[in-house]
Structure 1
């Protein structure tokens, strides 16, 4: 396996003694995209991806402080807004091969239609997930209202992004795009077309390209599998060039600008804005709303759709604070209000070329 984690060195020009240096052509920031990997390819991965962490995992001192403070839920005033969380289920809009349409089912689960495909991101249709209170908003789209699912993309293996009861509802021949090291989990559940990718690798399905890109996060599902599989986001590119970025779960940092340079012209970024308080505990792995807006600018994305808030109570910020803060940050950045797709759970938007 070749890990593609570093930027290539810039081109250099050599000269003979006494000759003026030849002009050096400007090199692109990245080489051409890697050739698509075969669908369903079986590969051998390292046992751990600890070397990909961009921040240390919490140590004993941080765990002791977390246990002492115990601030993982909003106070009574923050919880009082449960009834005001935006929930507006509606039928899925029409979409064809020239349409980019997204529908927010809640948390990081989207129904994406791009290049004529229907793709689910981190599908979680369960009412409860392990270690977390029940949903505070229902799923925005009933399972039986979904069109045929052409593919699933998974960002990482945390329970609020990888939900076994939901995935059991899918036909086992549904193509799955997963981080390196996570394929075994799917194969044990009899999925037959599982494509594991390293960072900066891609694969194609029906002409649409699925590229796995870095994120500032980590992985863990059991007591002894910390960072045994990779984590990241996805860039989906349709045959006509329409391009969507799904961040998955991530803190803010240098990867966003690198992703934007390698995949220019992102039409829409699906960005997490919740589960950020307290910052001393969560800043390395979860963007706050202001950072999500800055990350969208770093990506060069034309539009942003917030996610990862208002579904499960995972942290201490008031329930509606992520929405009010992201709107304020978007306005402060001088961006067009129409390009912030702050959808309710169940809401949809369509970009038609």
Structure 2
């Protein structure tokens, strides 16, 4: 059902360098990252070189893969209880629930992360919940327009029954499917839905869906702020030692962070736009997260690391940083994080 009681867009606490008339991440008709090497641009040719001619062999898509996966009982999300709850449905799709509000992140329920039904990365673990088993969704946030985060079939299925919050430059894309219940936000802008302040925040990534639209829409991470609970969703991002510390300073303590831990090899190509588990732990520390679980893994073969490597790499990074592994979990797809309770099932390394 459509969200009600939405407030006008609000300005939250904004770092000084973004208060200029034209923010630094705005280019001439495009957007840009602020902390990349000079003249760096993602290259399709470089990707093809890494994919087909690089030193690392990319894994095959597993068949019938059930490792780190469990079914989500529909009743657990339709009768979620009183505590904050976050259920990992698959890849970066999370259902966040608290005080009667249901929020969905980067939903993709299709079999392929691709513009084609017959080619492109194919899902090797199924969603833990069918789209028709979801509770009424009050809001959906989109981190950026890549096919594994913005899915046409899912957008059509949810349509105007929910309120879409998207980075700048994406509202017109939705309009082609007659989806108009859409609010665009720049970094540090907020929109309130049913008492929850939802804020677009920086990330380090890029956007592209076609041949001629590179970086014409923005990318973002997202914060969700209730009076007594704050969550943060990382979407898809590389790491820098400035923006996540700014987020931590603005938010104070983050009760739950959903941080990408997969799709990171080879590092020479991926490191500026996809964190590895070492970088994920840096983000965990920078944003003052009290608890976290990993997203953006165990669903599609997008990069060269083994499909079951992220949990092991995360465990090693947490041990190196002397962080209790219970605080940052590689949680099964289908499991739920519930405030002040251990996750239902944690991936076994």
- Show the counterpart of 2:248: 260
Match of 1:248 in 2: 235
Q: CA deviation at 1:175?
A: 0.6
Partner residue in 2 for 1:95: 80
1:156 lines up with 2:144 in the alignment: yes
The alignment status of 1:165 with 2:153, answered yes or no, reads yes
- State the shift of 1:63 in Å: 5.6
TM-aligned CA deviation for residue 64 of structure 1: 7.4
For the residues of structure 2 that align with 1:271 and 1:251, how far apart are their CA atoms?
Answer: 11
CA contact (8 A) 2:59 2:307 kept: no
The list of structure 1 runs, each at least 4 consecutive aligned residues, that deviate by more than 6 angstroms after superposition, is 3-6, 79-82
The equivalent of 2:320 in structure 1 is: 332
Determine which of 143, 150, 170 is the counterpart of 1:182: 170
Which residue of structure 1 aligns with residue 105 of structure 2? 121
CA displacement at 1:6 relative to structure 2 = 7.5
Contact 1:244 / 1:269 at 8 angstroms: preserved in 2? yes
Verify the 8 A CA contact 2:13 2:250 in the aligned structure 1: no
CA offsets 1:141-200 (integer angstroms, 9 cap, x no match)? 111221111110000000000001011111414111000110111122222321100011
Asked if the contact 2:263/2:302 (under 8 Å) is kept, the reply is yes
Residues 224-256 of structure 1: CA distance to partner in whole angstroms, max 9, x if unpaired?
111110001000001x23000000000011211
TM-score (norm 1): 0.81
User: Which structure has the greater CA radius of gyration?
Assistant: 1
Q: Separation in 2 of the partners of 1:64 and 1:159?
A: 17
Task: Describe the shift of the 1:68–1:4 C-alpha distance in structure 2 as closer, same or farther (beyond 3 A).
Answer: farther
| 3-state DSSP of counterpart to 1:129 | coil
The equivalent position to 1:109 in structure 2, one of 93, 97, 104, is: 93
Deviation at 1:116, TM superposition (A): 2.2
Q: 1:283 to 1:150 in 2, by over 3 A?
A: same
2:47 and 2:306 mapped to 1: Cα distance?
A: 23
User: Between Structure 1 and Structure 2, how many residues are aligned?
Assistant: 314
